[in-house]
Amino acid sequence: MIDIKFLRENPDIVRENIKKKFQDHKLPLVDEVLELDEKNRKIKLHGDDLRMNRNNLSSKIGMLMREGKKDEAEDIKKQVTNINEELVSNEKLELEYSEKIKEIMMKIPNIIHESVPIGKSDLENVEVQKYGEPIVPSYEIPYHTEIMESLCGIDLDSARRVAGNGFYYLMGDVARLHSSILSYARDFMINKGFTYCVPPFMIRSDVVTGVMSFEEMDAMMYKIEGEDLYLIGTSEHSMIGKFKNQILPKNELPYTMTSYSPCFRKEKGAHGIEERGVYRIHQFEKQEMIVVCEPQDSYMWYDKLWSYTVELFRSLDIPVRTLECCSGDLADLKAKSVDVEAWSPRQQK
């Protein structure tokens, strides 16, 4: 989320950033939050004045009582009571403004990095580099699910009966291969000096709102009814939450962690025929990379992280390419992002 001080001092930069993300419908939010911020600051100043006045009056009560001026002391007590009542109303309004400001600020996209290409959708993402040569075999490649079924390694029908579409049973050697790949990714990152972590698979709403926009949350996450808990869509959310409200010793930075978790996603919307099988499923497992570092080191770590992803795929001899995500394809909380795409011989893309 953008710092309110930055928005207050640079409203035109924030507006231009909104335009670069092709979210012109959010432009009025800037003026709305500036107006609320001005009101909120006036309310806070008024509250400070009330507290100072109350403290001054309260200090006189004891003195007047010692001097035997009981009636004057009682009059001041009434003034203090009135001030306290006004303070309650003032603090309620201050909280109301603060919550409304935070709600609006969560909808305003973060400032994108100057290197991000400008574009409306993922169709305008820019290919940066290819690693390895894509191969198209001379024979027709079956769907991945057909290969797994021929090895008795997947049962989609039973999963549909148990949980509906978007789930599967993995069995036998295919299940073992699945676990082995996760172990390989885990050890790959441990060998890079990262600390292995298994985080909570549920997080509270205040953690969710700290790591994604309301729109993303509604589209992705499953809520536990009757509780302030959500199933995680990726372990990075839980891992980022680990540092919530913490003051981190500078000499311990950076924190470099690799986390394993199952992930749960609604995956709303229709998907193409090439995504049938075990693409776009509601439950899957993931090995994640998380770094908490000083701001000036963030882009150095950014480059390291995507390069580790490329290196992992290439160590398995899988051709990949990197795509620089354009402004319109960036999630609102992101300043910059790169996709690493693996070559699919079946889809030839």
Contact 135, 342 (CB under 8 A): no
pLDDT of residue 213: 67
Residues 177-191: pLDDT tens digits? 999 999 999 999 999
Domain with CATH 3.30.930.10 in the chain: 136-318
Residue 135 Cα distances to 79, 127, 182, 310, angstroms: 84, 18, 25, 17
In angstroms, rounded to a whole number, what is the distance separating the alpha carbons of residues 345 and 43?
Answer: 63
Residues 8-28: pLDDT tens digits? 999 999 999 999 999 999 999
In angstroms, rounded to a whole number, what is the distance separating the alpha carbons of residues 93 and 109?
Answer: 26
pLDDT of residue 214: 67
- Nearest Cα neighbor of 199 from 191, 181, 211 is 211
User: Number of H helices and number of E strands within the chain?
Assistant: 11, 11
**CATH architecture, range 136-318:** 2-Layer Sandwich (3.30)
pLDDT of residue 209: 78
The neighbouring-strand residues paired with 169 are 155
pLDDT of residue 64: 74
User: In which residue ranges of the chain is pLDDT below 50?
Assistant: 270, 272-274
- Nearest Cα neighbor of 44 from 108, 96, 105, 103 is 96
CATH for 4-105, among 3.30.360.10, 3.40.50.150, 1.10.8.60, 1.10.287.40? 1.10.287.40
Contact 252, 283 (CB under 8 A): no
**pLDDT > 90: percent of the chain:** 67
In angstroms, rounded to a whole number, what is the distance separating the alpha carbons of residues 144 and 235?
Answer: 26
| pTM over the 0.85 mark | no
The tokens of 331 are what? 């999630």
